[in-house]
Structure 1
């Protein structure tokens, strides 16, 4: 039986980058967390310790900072594409470069003053190979809640089922979503905001009989509104809210007082796709 080296990659993770754009009296601010991973003809370093094909991860970090100065920093997709294409073009032993960016938003308070926005993190994963380019945008930690217009009943019951059926409940989740672009020439800012607006709009306007139904509605709305997108993967934890029993105090609880549950929680995941979209060039959902 032979033992062989399988797929592998290496890189520099979580390079923190803050770029100030000094545009006259009004400054701009970009706050990124950048990770780079390279794969290709790298067997020798694993097998014998021969590092002749290894670009140091410290060099990757330095490239992030140098490119931020030389090219400026705008949309995360554009910056990630710039970096990934650079590594594939300049490193002959590299077949594929994956650049991931977390983008932290800051709201302007004045010409050079900002307040960090904490409601979600914008994400980008760009994979560039010698054959194809793939851009995946997304968000993590987008907390949404409907105080009504949600039911859950008619489910399977067995000897261990204790959950009561509900015709009026709180529906809450913290959305992680990733959507794959059909190309790489989109207006990244408009595309991102449009996908975000479609997701939140679908959550607000869907009368939900299950979180699965809401997931499909959100994904469908995104693809309907954004023709530049091929598919979207959604991860929706069910942030349970339990009615407090107020009967010991002689009080009725008409869906007004709740305990916000922490864990365990339900976890709903699904992908919504165009049936005619080209398949992904990499495992984009990882």
Structure 2
């Protein structure tokens, strides 16, 4: 029997790193998680058990810490490129993929002003960057993940087709909640990725809050349009919005009315809506 090893890769996942920049008078904090994946001439490790070309994944972990000491880790896109180019320079490696997720911390407000060295984390929200490097090729995707938002009105869902299994009632005023994931690409390398990220995040939040949503599909199109309008460097944006349902509770068995006030949040199952939008498409 003939067997071919079609594709392989290996690396190190969930390398946690916190870096503190102790500038006089104010500290800066970055909290990231790094995934490293290498492709290359590693077939013999799989087929023969020959490890002579395999850089240990423990070495990859140590490399993250060492390079974080000698290089800025902000913006994470730039640090991802530093890592990708380092590993691409190793013998037998043909492609290096780096994924970085940054936990978003903000300063605690103390005495009416931001504290110089105390921070508060924004739930599960993360800034993300994905870097892929090969000979003569560099691709960067930036984004935001797990941005949990909710609005108590300004959302509807009606006019949908019904069949013999449909039980959902039309809603003219409902709670809309979702855990946003947005990824974007730029036509050329972005010289100000942090400014782009901040502009995209602000566009997502403001559009979600202000738009009168006729469906999650309607909202996701508005969000993508807003990001492209707010971020001239962005050429393409992809969004994923799971619908985090809040279902109206039937209080009639207790002789009570429910005037759109009492809900039960339901995580599963949930709707999942995707869309990709491109400038000039």
What TM-score comes out, normalization by structure 2 length? Answer: 0.92
Paired with 1:58 and 1:249, the residues of 2 have a C-alpha distance of 61
What secondary structure, in the 3-state scheme, does the structure 2 residue paired with 1:263 have?
A: strand
Q: Deviations over 1:94-145 (max 9, x none)?
A: 1111111110122224332222232511111111111311111112211111
2:116 aligned with 1:111: yes
Can you give the 5+ residue segments of structure 2 that lack an aligned partner in the other structure?
Answer: 109-114
- C-alpha contact 1:12 1:58 (8 A) present in aligned 2: yes
- Tell me, yes or no, if the aligned pair for 2:228 and 2:235 is still in contact at 8 Å: yes
Deviation at 1:151, TM superposition (A): 1.3
Conservation of the 8 A alpha-carbon contact between 1:12 and 1:36: yes
Compared with structure 1, are the counterparts of its residues 149 and 111 closer, same or farther at alpha carbon in structure 2 (3 Å cutoff)? closer
- Cα distance per residue 1:130-187 (max 9 Å; x no partner): 1311111112211111211211111121111111111111111111221122222420
Q: 3-state DSSP class of the match of 1:234?
A: strand
| Aligned position for 1:33 | 33
Give the secondary structure class of the aligned counterpart of 1:223: helix
Counterpart contact for 1:33–1:102, Cα < 8 Å: yes
> Residues 204 and 226 of structure 2 are in contact (CA less than 8 Å); yes or no, is this contact kept in structure 1?
yes
Is contact 1:135–1:183 with CA below 8 Å preserved after alignment?
no
Q: Give the paired residue count.
A: 275
Q: Residues 162 and 185 from structure 1, CA distance in 2 versus in 1: closer, same or farther, beyond 3 angstroms?
A: closer
What is the aligned counterpart of 1:134 among 139, 143, 156?
139
| 1:227-238 correspondence to structure 2 within 5 Å | 227-238=232-243
Q: How far apart, CA to CA, are the structure 1 residues paired with 2:245 and 2:228?
A: 28
CA distance in 2, matches of 1:275, 1:38: 34
TM-score (norm 1): 0.90
Separation of aligned partners in 1, 2:46 and 2:254: 68
**8 Å contact 2:103–2:124 — kept in the other structure?**
no
**Structure 2 residue aligned with 1:280:** none
1:247 offset after TM fit, Å?
2.2
SS at match of 1:74: coil
Q: Which residue number in structure 1 is paired with residue 218 of structure 2?
A: 213
Deviations 1:32-84 (A, max 9, x none): 11111111222222221222221111111111111111113221111111110
Contact 1:134–1:181, Cα closer than 8 Å, also in 2: no
In the alignment, does 2:63 pair up with 1:63? yes
Q: How many angstroms apart in 2 are the aligned matches of 1:116 and 1:201?
A: 21
- The 5 A counterparts of 1:136-285 are 136-275=141-280
State whether residues 101 and 129 of structure 2, in contact with CA within 8 Å, keep that contact through their aligned partners in structure 1.
yes
What is the match of residue 279 of structure 1? Answer: none
Partners of 2:185 and 2:94 in 1: CA distance = 21
- Find the aligned partners of 1:238 and 1:121 in 2 and give their Cα distance: 19
CA distance in 1, matches of 2:211, 2:25: 45
> 2:29 is paired with a residue of what secondary structure?
strand
What residue ranges of structure 1 are gaps of 5+ in the alignment?
A: 277-286
In angstroms, what is the RMSD of aligned CA positions? 1.7
SS in structure 1 at match of 2:269 = coil
